[in-house]
Structure 1
Amino acid sequence: ATEALRVLAEMTRTLDAEVAAICERLRFETYDLEKSVFEAVYKLDKLERIGLYVLINVDPQTTDAAARELARRCIAGGADALQLRAKNLSDRRFLSLAESFIDVCRTNGALGIINDRADIAALAQADGVHLGQDEILPKSARILLKRPMLIGGSTHAINELNEAVTAGYDYVGVGPAFASPTKPGLTPAGLGYIRQAVQRLASTSIRPVAIGGINAQNLPAVLETGIRAVAVASAILDNPEKQCRQLKAIIVRS
């Protein structure tokens, strides 16, 4: 459509400048529409794939090879999306690890998300970036990303969820469902908040992801809220492949 309008604009430029200008305007409007439709379809496809979302924490003592192997084992167990968290790495090492981490995810059929850093996510060609509450907003992140990419955020209460809807996130973490060993200072929001979030987001395209202290024992209760995507971290550390497989089976059965 855009190419046809470009040809029409060129053909009519010497015959009728006003018609040519209309064709040119329609060409750019059509391009913007096509871009918006493509991005919406791209994001919907990615979001619908998320059921089991695993958070992988890397510190300076963790080798890159160990992080990649953990990612492979989680995906082998059924993880749909993996988030790389590396708050204490140098930028250079973070980027190097992110590139190989995303390659592992893509090669094995899982989504690869980078925590906090939109610049690293863009350079590593990740599937998305997860922005903390103190990070830049989605509107600013999309300027850096320059290509369709999922943008996630975190919420702990209904007022934060409402702000996330306005801000334009593609998915939001909702929780903590329970006390979490990865964030011991955070008071659990409980299953009531997760149920609220599911209801609040039902009329939007935003996907809620339950998070916080979730394991195989309490996952059935979490899924009873109506949530269809959950994020885990410490619950898979003992035996990543086996524990991911167990969690994924519970999600699939629900």
Structure 2
Amino acid sequence: MFKDKVFLVLLVLGLLTIVAAAGVITVQRGNGGGESPYLKVPDQSDMIVEESVPQDTQVAVAGDSNATKNVKDEMQAVDSSKATAQKETQAAKAAADKNAAKSLALNFNDSTKMTWPVRGNVILDYSMDTTIYFPTLDQYKCNPGVVIQGDVSTPVVAPANAKVQEIGSNEEIGNYVVLNMGNKYTAVCGQLKELKVTANEYVKEGQVLGYIAEPTKYYSVEGANIFFELTHEDKAIDPLDYMQ
């Protein structure tokens, strides 16, 4: 019985010895190679950077950006130059027109013939020696000018070279322009809208002063028209004697 126990103990010790020896051999083999038993994966960070952003590509992109910026700068410079040149041209033209207008000869006289401010029928004649009938007012009275029929928004032009002496408005003839034509001759154009001239401006014969407006309440029956008056030395005279 005792021998059997001793045999079992020796058997167990032998097995333990064999297991321990096997473990030492395994560890030695692992250390003897000097390498990790795991597969080493190469570091690919550099490869990824190089492949995603090549040096040549970076240089090309930078070059394209600079080229685009230079082109934009050049285009902006050209546009600026064009705008400046256009402004200078407009300013020169305005100055030339102003100087040309100032050189207009305002020499209207009793032998001068005027352009009609608007073409149309004369519906109320000049009459300072006797009275004439005004349909809207339903009364007879003198008329210092002529009333020329026309359509609303028809252009009204300067009858002769002149300087705009006055711009005003009243109930009877609405918006009006007083023109100084020289030698103490003046003309008045009334029933206007959208005036195209200003006070003290020089205008050429045929230049647009404005447009025919809706008639005032004093001419509602007569309809749209232009009131045109001509004076010499502040005395009304018949405009038709000077019309072409």
Which TM-score bucket, shorter chain as reference? under 0.3
If each structure's helix is expressed as a fraction of its own residues, which one has the higher value?
A: 1
Task: Give the TM-score normalised by structure 1.
Answer: 0.26
Task: Give the TM-score normalised by structure 2.
Answer: 0.27
The structure with the larger Rg is 2
